[in-house]
Structure 1
Amino acid sequence: MVVGLLALSSLTGCDDATSAESGPVQTADTAVDEMTAHGGQICPARLPRSATDDNSVGGGPVAPEAPRLGAPDAAWICRYEPHLGRRTPTDGRVVTFRATGDARPVEAERLPDFAAALAGLETADPDRSCFADLGPRWMLVYALDHDLTGVVMNEYGCGDVRLTDDPFDVAPGDATQPGTVAGILSAPEGFLAALKSAYADGA
């Protein structure tokens, strides 16, 4: 799986010029120490729900542009399973995503490859067709100084990616911090496999 991560690095090089023409590069928000704000926990027990997505399984608009994320100082990976709740007015079901275990640290030697993968995130195709299935979500949480950012990828549908600039309080896809973007992104090839590999190695 390390080979897959190295492949991500080569895939993302051509995206740097495009990103340079967009918004500001992400920097740490030093107003709050998010690494200690929740008793040292890195990932929430459940992902926050979006006010714009009634069942929290993948609705919402695509991102207006690619993000310009900072290179991680440290990173962790968490896995979330879907749980069905009450019915919605449209006869759907409210879905919550609950953590299946503790956050697992990413090995330091993998961080440059994940930084390259983050640089390869792109705006999702608004005309894409996705399977109407359901499965786990994976969240890469990384630290810039003591500021945490979450990158949430669906292991279902189109494999959509969403950002949260506060994993405990901001729903995936609702990020507003400079350098991040709201909406749906698409990941470079091999990103999901890299998340799973790093998660397994962090056990």
Structure 2
Amino acid sequence: MAEYRLDVLYKAAEALICMKKYEDALVLYEKFVKAFPDVAGGWHGLAICYEETGEREKSIEPYRKALELYLRDAKTEAGRMRRSFLWGGWCAIKLNMNQLALEMMEEAVKEDQNYAYAYLSLAIASARTGDKDRALISKRRYLDLVGEKPYEKRECEGLEMLNEAKEEASGWLRSFILSVLDKCHKESEICQSLGET
């Protein structure tokens, strides 16, 4: 199995973001965008990692690149299936392009009226453009949807994804994932010994 198979490398990187392991995720996203520079999600993940590790200035160009690719992808059925409007809207928010973000979030809600996070995103974009009423309506819809179908905790989702990626990975990537999982296990043991969970 190839060391840098697109789906496995991306799954591992995304899993680490879910787990809030941004420094580890950064290593994988840097490799990902070098190997697959035309994938919006890779640039978006890289930008998030830079921002979360305190390098906001370094996040700007990856956010721009991700937004450009999301706008391209949103014109295709496959891109719409990957929620390109929603994620592109978040890139626009991070770039303070609030009107574009609002337009993209509106499209995201039209695409999937049962996806709670699209409504939360629309609420945030609406608030940033000054439409407080729409922000409240969208947030209420978000809360209704989450009440009907609660989210799985992101960290748990990430750990599950990372374990799946481990099974599919080989070579350097598999070793990297195993070392991250070992580090997580040790952190968990320390928390348990201190009475935290």
What TM-score range do you get, normalising by the shorter chain? under 0.3
Q: Name the structure with the higher helix share.
A: 2
- Give the TM-score taking structure 2 as reference length: 0.23
- Give the TM-score taking structure 1 as reference length: 0.23
Greater relative contact order, per chain length (Cα 8 Å cut-off, separation 6+)? 1
Decide which structure has the larger Cα Rg and report it: 2
